[in-house]
């Protein structure tokens, strides 16, 4: 049924666009020797005819190479989607989009490694994390919303794609995370932006379904409780939704303040303060710096009265802070980044909702689920605009608590060193709109694993290859 709906939806949009083109190419009517104005910009029909249509095709190859004796995985995914948004009609707009993914050749993602009993960690999220054998019915209605805009403010209701520090697209697979609810933005006060809303449903990347907020927590692997037993909070939490609000204030041309609060009803609250600095130098260069502080607190009993089924420890809290400094010009950008999660408790944010906002974040790994962490990361970007190439090289050291310190190590990951190399190329002329990316990730063990391969498999002593093609039209 979903497939029939999506195909019908795509054909409908294509016919709409075709009709638009036919109308545009018609010869204008003549009135007293002059072209007669026939374009209607006041009706609802005209808003649909003047809407914007675009599409996206994507190919993704991913492969993980573990150390000898452990299983390697690979996957080839291809997909495409279309999006349509009407023109404004008395301030209102409507948008709809959908995407379809095919598994065109992969290793057996449902087969566990014989040594550790664990499955593919990265490749499965290209498709359907809840069904590793699903190769065809991988489609999703991603956007379906109505938007109202007035002056410099807007409000959106429905399914949408959203980017905030804590709930975001995390677009490192075939499709990003989607959300459903209300979202507003206002810029009526000069140099002040306020945004926020209430979200009651999500569709995490690597899934095809939409979940209530409490059901979305635990779709991915839940790790262990603070006593080392397996987490049991999936489908046991109770929450009415997530309430977010963010404020951004430009104090002057050099300093901007950001504040966020994320209230997950009945489970936990997260607050963030961040300051960004930028100071221009000669020769079109500048130095920049930033500082960040995050605090988390459990609400009620963290989502469930039973300790083994709760998400956030009853009475628990987490504190993290970080800083960065760097220099950049039109071609180069270099920075040094540091982040600390204190030993008060685990920093927790559902991985289904997005990636973490830490300055030390590196694609393909996270520090969510850990406490007592020291992380330092250096990064250098080099762009060559004339030939449309962007490169990035980063390296980081992440000192995590012992893998058997379950209170502060949720996922059993040892300390590690990570290196990322990223090259992107934008095609031109006949292939304009096509972009290619090669990302290679290497992770080396820097901690004690007690000769237990489950602490290494898909975590350390591994190389991950990613090759992506995107075509936007």
Q: Above 60 in pLDDT, residue 4? A: no
Percent with pLDDT over 70 in the chain:
92
DSSP for residue 29: P
Instruction: Tell me what percent of the chain is helix, strand and coil, each rounded to the nearest 5.
Output: 10, 45, 45
Q: What is the pTM of this model?
A: 0.90
Q: Above 90 in pLDDT, residue 35? A: no
Residues 167 and 352: beta-carbon distance below 8 Å: no
d(Cα 462, Cα 377) in Å, to the nearest integer? 19
Q: What is the pLDDT of residue 38?
A: 52
Mean confidence (pLDDT) of the chain: 92
DSSP for residue 358: -
Residues 118 and 454: beta-carbon distance below 8 Å: yes
Better-predicted residue by pLDDT, 295 or 25? 295
d(Cα 362, Cα 374) in Å, to the nearest integer? 14
DSSP for residue 230: B
pLDDT tens, residue by residue, 216-239? 999 999 999 999 999 999 999 999
pLDDT tens, residue by residue, 286-305? 999 999 999 999 999 999 99
DSSP for residue 345: S
Binned at pLDDT 50, 70 and 90, residue 352 comes out as very high
Give the pLDDT mean for 420-435. Answer: 97
The region that residue 87 occupies, defined by phi over 0 for left and psi between -120 and 50 for alpha, beta otherwise, is beta
CB proximity list for 128: less than 8 A, separation 6 or greater: 134, 138, 206, 207, 208
Looking at 26-127, list the stretches that DSSP marks H as alpha helix, in order from N- to C-terminal side: 44-49
- Radius of gyration of the chain, Cα coordinates, nearest whole angstrom: 24
Tokens of 421: 């190399």
Tokens of 41: 């910009």
User: Is the dihedral angle over the CA atoms 168, 159, 215, 265 positive or is it negative?
Assistant: positive
Q: Above 60 in pLDDT, residue 120? A: yes
Domains of the chain: residue spans and CATH: 2-24+46-472 (2.40.160.10)
Cα distances from 130 to residues 134, 165, 207, 325, 419, in angstroms, run 9, 26, 7, 41, 30
Q: What is the pLDDT of residue 39?
A: 56
Nearest 5 degrees, angle CA 165-CA 170-CA 171? Answer: 140
Of 179, 173, 174, residue with least CA distance to 160:
179
Give the pLDDT mean for 450-460. Answer: 97
Of 435, 260, 442, residue with least CA distance to 362:
442
Biggest distance spanned by C-alpha atoms of the chain = 91
Query: Beta-carbon neighbour count of residue 104 at 10 Å?
Result: 13
Q: What is the pLDDT of residue 57?
A: 97
Q: What is the pLDDT of residue 6?
A: 47
pLDDT tens, residue by residue, 142-179? 999 999 999 999 999 999 999 999 999 998 899 999 99
């Amino acid at each position: 049924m979903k497939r029939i709906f999506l195909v019908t939806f795509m054909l409908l949009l294509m016919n709409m666009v075709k009709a638009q083109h036919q109308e545009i190419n018609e010869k204008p009517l003549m009135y007293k020797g002059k072209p007669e104005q026939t374009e209607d910009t006041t009706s609802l029909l005209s808003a649909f005819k003047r809407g914007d249509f675009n599409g996206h095709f994507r190919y993704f190859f991913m492969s993980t190479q573990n150390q000898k004796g452990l299983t390697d995985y690979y996957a080839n995914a291809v997909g495409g989607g279309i999006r349509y948004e009407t023109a404004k009609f008395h301030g209102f707009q409507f948008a709809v989009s959908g995407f379809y993914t095919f598994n065109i050749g992969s290793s057996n993602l449902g087969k566990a490694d014989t040594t550790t009993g664990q499955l593919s960690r990265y490749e499965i999220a290209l498709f359907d994390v809840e069904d590793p054998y699903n190769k065809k019915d991988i489609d999703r209605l991603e956007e379906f919303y109505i938007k109202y805009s007035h002056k410099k403010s807007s409000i959106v209701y429905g399914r949408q794609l959203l980017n905030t520090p804590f709930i975001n697209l995390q677009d490192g697979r075939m499709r990003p995370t989607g959300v459903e609810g209300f979202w507003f933005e206002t810029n009526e006060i000069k140099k002040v932006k306020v945004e926020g809303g209430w979200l009651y449903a999500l569709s995490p990347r690597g899934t095809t379904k939409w979940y209530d907020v409490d059901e979305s927590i635990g779709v991915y692997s839940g790790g262990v409780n603070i006593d080392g037993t397996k987490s049991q909070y999936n489908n046991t939490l109770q929450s009415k939704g997530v309430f977010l609000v963010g404020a951004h204030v430009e104090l002057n041309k050099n300093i901007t303040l950001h504040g966020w609060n994320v209230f997950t009803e009945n489970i936990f609250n997260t607050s963030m303060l961040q300051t960004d600095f930028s100071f221009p130098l000669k020769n079109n260069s500048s130095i920049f710096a930033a500082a960040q502080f995050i605090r988390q607190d459990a609400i009620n009993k963290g989502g469930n009265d039973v300790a083994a089924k709760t998400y956030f420890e009853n009475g628990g809290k987490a504190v993290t802070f970080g800083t960065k400094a760097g220099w950049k010009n039109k071609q180069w950008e270099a920075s040094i980044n540091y982040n600390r999660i204190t030993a008060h408790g685990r920093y927790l944010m559902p991985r289904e909702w997005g990636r973490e906002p830490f300055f030390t974040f590196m694609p393909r790994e996270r520090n969510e689920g850990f406490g007592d962490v020291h992380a330092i990361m250096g990064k250098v970007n080099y762009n060559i605009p004339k030939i449309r190439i962007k490169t990035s090289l980063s390296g980081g050291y992440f000192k995590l608590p012992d893998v058997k310190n379950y209170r502060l190590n949720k996922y059993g990951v040892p300390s590690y060193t990570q290196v990322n190399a990223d090259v992107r190329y934008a095609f031109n002329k006949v292939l304009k709109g096509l972009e290619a990316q090669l990302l290679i990730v290497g992770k080396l063990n820097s901690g004690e694993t007690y000769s237990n391969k489950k602490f290494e498999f898909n975590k350390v002593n591994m190389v991950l290859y990613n090759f992506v093609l995107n075509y936007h039209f």
